[in-house]
Structure 1
Amino acid sequence: MSRSTSPDTQKPDSVGQRFPKYARLTETRDFAKVREQGKSIQASLIRVGLLRTEEVSSAKVGLITSKRVGGAVVRNKVRRRLRGIIKSCIAEIPSGFLVVIVAKSAAARATFEQLRAEWLLLARRLSILPPLE
């Protein structure tokens, strides 16, 4: 017997709803460029690095979760949560930005909502998302 799920009940991280390839920051040199030339801001759970560039046509986001965050299972959980958060607001990020999100060790114990609230706070401080009205 096969299990079928309707699109309404699928988890946001399921296959078919992946983080869009055009929005992924994958090159090591791009991560280094954001670290060296960009500005960064941090809070208790994540640090966000940002660089405005004319080299990309759309916003690109990269995630870093080091072993300080936890074991492989924990790091993957944090990455899944951060990808889900970014997927929900990637369309609002203006094109031409390279964004790097670095998870801190406290992110392992944070809920999805705590991570989301912190991302929105930092993104608005960096002016890459519109302010709350």
Structure 2
Amino acid sequence: MPAPVARLTQRKDYLAANSGKRAPMPGFVLLVRARSDADPAMRVGITVSKKVGNAVIRNRMKRRFRALVREVLPTEGLAGADHVLIGRNAGIERDYAALKAELIKALGKLKR
């Protein structure tokens, strides 16, 4: 049974994830930080800065990232860890299959 996926809501959690492991990919940067609590739930946060584009583009990227997370994280994610996806400029025109392959590759890197 895959671990449940919750959302990161507080700024301190995003800042804490920044001190964890990072896996830069062409479309995004994945930050993963293991929490030291007994909770096996995975938490995920998504952020896309204004440098990437206007509100329409940023929201489209966030929707794509949320779909990726729903599809990939329950099976490939690290249980009991916080995952943060940071959107990059190259992620706008990348197709969904490429982003999915990159996310699986990034999670595989960080599991080692």
Identical-pair percentage? 26
Question: TM-score normalised to the size of structure 1?
Answer: 0.73
Which amino acid in the other structure matches residue 80 of structure 1? R
TM-score (norm 2): 0.86
Q: Per-residue deviation at 1:94?
A: 3.6
Partner of 1:84: 67
- Structure 1: state its 5+ residue gaps: 1-19, 129-133
Does residue 96 (structure 1) correspond to residue 91 (structure 2)? The answer is no
| 1:111 corresponding residue in structure 2 | 95
Across the two proteins, how many residue pairs are aligned to each other? 107
Larger Cα-atom Rg: 1
- Correspondence for 2:49 among 52, 61, 66: 66
Q: Deviations over 1:35-58 (max 9, x none)?
A: 1x2111102111011100123720
> 5+ residue gaps in structure 2?
none
The residue number in structure 1 matching 2:28 is 46
Q: Which has the higher strand share?
A: 2
Ranked by relative contact order (alpha carbons within 8 Å, sequence separation 6 or more), the top structure is: 2
Q: Deviations for 1:78-129, whole angstroms, at most 9, x for unmatched residues?
A: 111110011012322242100111011111111111211111111111118x
Structure 1's 74 and 97: CA in aligned 2 closer, same or farther, altered over 3 A?
Answer: same
CA-based RMSD = 1.8
